[in-house]
Chain A
Amino acid sequence: MDVNRASVAAAPVSPSTASPSLFIGTFGVVFALIAFFLVFDTFVARIDTDEAQSRALSSFKAGTRFFDGGKFDDAAEQFSTAAAMDRENITYKVALARVTLRQGDMETAQTLLRSILQQDPTDGSANVLMARVLVKQGQSEEGIAYYHRAVYGQWRTGEPGTSLQARFELINLLAATNAKQALLAELLPIQDQSLEDLTLRDSIGYLFLEAGSPARAADVFHQVLQKDGKNVRANTGLGEASLALGNYAGAETEFTRALRLSPRDTVIAFRRDVAQNLAEMDPSARGLRLSDRYQRARDLLMLTVQTVARCPLDSVASATAAVADSALGKSPGQSGDALDDFAQANLAIAQRLWKSRPAGCVSQFTPKERALGLLQDALAR
């Protein structure tokens, strides 16, 4: 026999010396045993699986009760048992990861979530939990990627959380990190969702404001107010949207309405006063006569000089302040062109002076100060 050849092929079995009947009989017995054990094993395995699944479900239910009662250690033990008994069931694993996260064990939670996502990368709950872990660890970019997978992932019925909630978590994260463009991109797909849930729609409106899209925010608030005209949050939101759009008079009206519905709300009162001041101070308001525009520009310059004068000024700011003082001493006469030129010049000086002030020196505690700040921002834009 050739040893080399045998080593790569099958074993060197010599011909059988058994009689043909014994030979066939042995094969018959072996095949019968294979059939028997196949049936037996499959049957017992099925019973085992059913029992394990049933016990896993009981553990999961017990774990859920513990979780709802705030007993996270007990819940973790039950979820762990459930996950071990029914390994195919991702819900149990996700529940275990969730409770582990609640226990504050980020490392273990992350490991668990990795294994779940390896099993099913599209699982919505697991992706959201992983996103939370990463965000807590300061890895916002990776967290955002997991949020995206959660939003477009699979969500099983009966599990806490939905795709929309995942999107809102992402939106809140983007709002917190001031990622306006990404925030707007996330808000647009849900602009027309949840029409019945007015609280949610209010939130969407405010988020549009944070994303720098006051027109869309105003649309949302209008829709809310059509359904509930006495909605304070929507009125306030609409006031804010109007403020952002430069419609100070409109903003004042909305804040006044909101204040009528909630008279003790000092925040709305403050915002109403700011809007009122803006409406009175805005030199670019439509329909103003040239003389009024000039007067408002001069008043704005004067207010800026008075406000900035409270700050310690450097040489550049002092020089600008001197220029502003000089400008305030000049008179344009009654010619229309001159009034316009002086108005423009005063506004330009006011902006320069505002920019040259030391950062953070000017308080915006009073409505007038806040209005000045907003107006300067609007002029700068």
Chain B
Amino acid sequence: MEAPTAPSSALVRWSGRVSVLIEDLRRKEDRLALVLSLMIGALVGLIVVAFILLTGRLASHMYPPGGSGWRRLLIPTAGSLATGYLLFKYFPNARGSGIPQTRAAVFIHDGRISLRTVLGKFGLCSASLASGIALGREGPAVQIGAGVASVIGRRLGLSKEQVKWLIPVGGAAALAAAFNTPIAAIIFALEEIMGDLQAPILGSIVLSSATSWMVLHLVLGDEPLFHVAGYTLVNPIELLFYAVLGIVGGFVSVAFVKLLLALRIRFSRLPKASIWLQPVAGGLLVGLMGYFVPEVLGVGYDQVEKVLNGDMLFRVVVMLAMLKVIATAVCYASGNAGGIFGPTMFIGAMLGAAVGQIAHTFFPTLTAGPGAYALVGMGAAFAGIIRTPLTSVIMIFEVTRDYSIIVPLMIANMLAYFISQKFQREPIYDALSRQDGLHLPDAATRAATGSVRVVTAIRESPEPLPPELAASAALALVHDTQLDAWPVVHEGKFLGMVGIDDLVKAAREDVDGYSVQQVMDRSRVPSNESDAAFEHLHTDHTLGQALARMGASQHNTLPVVSRANVTILLGLVTLPDILRAYGVDDAMVRATAWT
């Protein structure tokens, strides 16, 4: 009778182990974060691949080879009409690119992106892009990825703060799969979505991006988005032409952004009842353009690849650049679902090719072919329109896997970025959000918040206590009521902080007289930094970090020590000091200081 019970006991043991593992996962944040990063990376990667494949298949059915020209007029019009109505009726949050919505989810909606929005974005964007609307798939992919992460986080019962953290994790995974650019996706998530390159979720973003990229390669193979022949700098003088390209790219970026924003305002002033019909304006315009110039339809990556390989005429590239600027601006402004990443690259590539052809015609021995300029033009337009210069440099590397033209790329990018910044002060995504009535923190605000350092709030240390001093004697010396802890120094070496409350308590308790050292040892809270025995700060820590450490140490006063030697005390930082550094009024600080 032993034999039949053996499997069931093994099953019980096994299920017991699984339960322990799951409970472990539920309770241990590091493990859950790791698993979630991998899981979100894999799922988002696969969903985005499905999104790309589905869009491609739909497009190939809508535009079969040798299809009639009327299709190019009718399909975008009908597509925008159908998707416009569905967006209005069922999926209002799935309009537009997806990047501003993702940022709004992080900064306003506590990381909430609904499942309905994810489904709407997936289906309607796929249909819209397949019908030939001149928008891109990457922005929507980011919103889909972020939405998936948000839905999973909420289903798992994570806190709002934690769900918020998962948004860039999903967004990075999506961009890594959509563009086949894992590193640029990480930087974009930090640079654009979070607005902080040192965001504490870097580890998770890296994991999800890498997982998503692996999934992409598993399904679609190891192919870059564009195949580009190796380009090199022919002559150092050529840098001048690339600089010209950067300047032209900057001005075209400004023109594109201003046109798009102005058109969007015009559309927003139309009667509310017409919202569902407005996308047709974009569809019809693209249809009309596409009837005569089919290359304008859709994302246009085929054309980008052609031009990157120097395979287009000057008048064609100039015409395509102009038409795409208008088509994308109208399509986006009228409320179609789709992003501006892809069109940005298209416009940049055409613009670069045009500049490159001029340069190569007049200086054939000094310059590379127009393909090289198209490559740099993509980066310049990206830096000018999207305003993420670091992402744009890395992205061009990854999209083309061509590292040979780094210097021209950086020069053109920076020039385009600065010109765009000068003549269009508000970045496009900030401006789009503002038009929607959302006041997201701009880069300057985020940078200021994150980068106010301890050095701005530091105060001089009072006379420190010697460790051998009796607690009661020490209490007599401590007279500054603003501090809830006092530095202890022995022979010039800083030993740590002793809490005033601990001194009071020890003085009351002990008749023999506790020393300061003993009081300090009794109440010591271990430091997060392994090489120091006490919680402390350095001058380059942010005030946010200072607050976090105050919470961890249960003291409102923390020592600021040298990075070279933690026994050298540089000063103290208190909670009121931090409030003052953020500009909080002194009266308010005093009122709230010790309540």
Contacts and interface: CB of A to CB of B under 8 A. Distances in A.
Interface in B45-79: 46-47, 49-50, 53-54, 56-57, 60, 65
Contacts of B28: 15
Given A11-B204, A13-B32, A41-B46, A115 B53 contact: no
A114 B230 contact: yes
A3 B548 contact: yes
Contacts of A27: 39
A87 B46 contact: no
B24 to A, nearest CB: 10
A17 B43 CA distance: 22
Contacts of B492: none
Contact of A115 (B54, B56, B227): B227
Interface in A7-51: 7-20, 22-24, 26-27, 29-31, 33-34, 37-38, 40-42, 44-45, 47-48, 51
A1 B169 contact: no
Contact of B158 (A16, A44, A45): A16
Contact of A12 (B200, B227, B310): B200
B32 A16 contact: yes
Interface string B512-538: 000000000000000011000000000
Given A15-B27, A15-B29, A16-B157, A10 B37 contact: yes
A80 interface: yes
Contacts of B369: 107-108, 111
Contact of A14 (B42, B53, B60, B158): B158
Nearest to B230: A114
A12 B29 contact: yes
Query: How extensive is the interface on chain B, given as a class?
Result: 35 or more
Given A1-B548, A44-B57, A7 B198 contact: yes
Given A15-B27, A20-B26, A30-B152, A48 B53 contact: yes
B229 A11 contact: no
B201 interface: yes
Contacts of B42: 34
A4 interface: yes
A164 interface: no
A23 B156 contact: yes
A30 B157 contact: no
A59 B53 CA distance: 22
Contacts of A196: none
A37 B43 contact: yes
A89 to B, nearest CB: 13
A215 B310 CA distance: 53
Contacts of A14: 29, 158-159, 161-162
Contacts of B30: 9-10
Nearest to B551: A1
A37 B37 contact: no
B544 interface: yes
Of residues B157, B528, B545, which shows the largest number of chain A Cβ atoms within 10 Å of its Cβ?
A: B157
B157 A17 contact: yes
Interface string B1-29: 00000000000000000010011001111
Nearest to B302: A84
A34 B46 contact: yes
A34 B43 contact: yes
A6 interface: yes
A44 B50 contact: yes
A2 interface: yes
A108 B32 CA distance: 52
A106 B47 CA distance: 43
Contact of B155 (A7, A12, A22, A114): A22
B156 A16 contact: yes
A252 B54 CA distance: 80
Contacts of A115: 227, 229-230
Of residues A1, A80, A112, which shows the largest number of chain B Cβ atoms within 10 Å of its Cβ?
A: A1
B310 A108 contact: yes
A87 B223 contact: yes
Interface in A144-188: none
A84 B200 contact: no
A11 B201 contact: yes
Contacts of A289: none
B65 to A, nearest CB: 8
Contacts of A111: 229-230, 309-310, 369, 371
B305 A12 contact: no
Closest 9 CB pairs of A and B: A18-B157, A37-B46, A10-B33, A11-B204, A17-B157, A111-B229, A13-B33, A2-B528, A6-B200
12 contacts: A3-B544, A4-B528, A6-B201, A10-B207, A11-B165, A13-B165, A18-B26, A23-B26, A23-B157, A33-B43, A34-B39, A37-B47
Interface of A: 1-20, 22-24, 26-27, 29-31, 33-34, 37-38, 40-42, 44-45, 47-48, 51, 55, 80, 84, 87, 107-108, 111-112, 114-115, 118
Given A20-B19, A23-B22, A26-B152, 14 more contacts: A7-B200, A8-B203, A9-B33, A11-B37, A12-B162, A18-B156, A19-B157, A20-B22, A29-B155, A41-B49, A41-B219, A44-B53, A84-B305, A111-B229
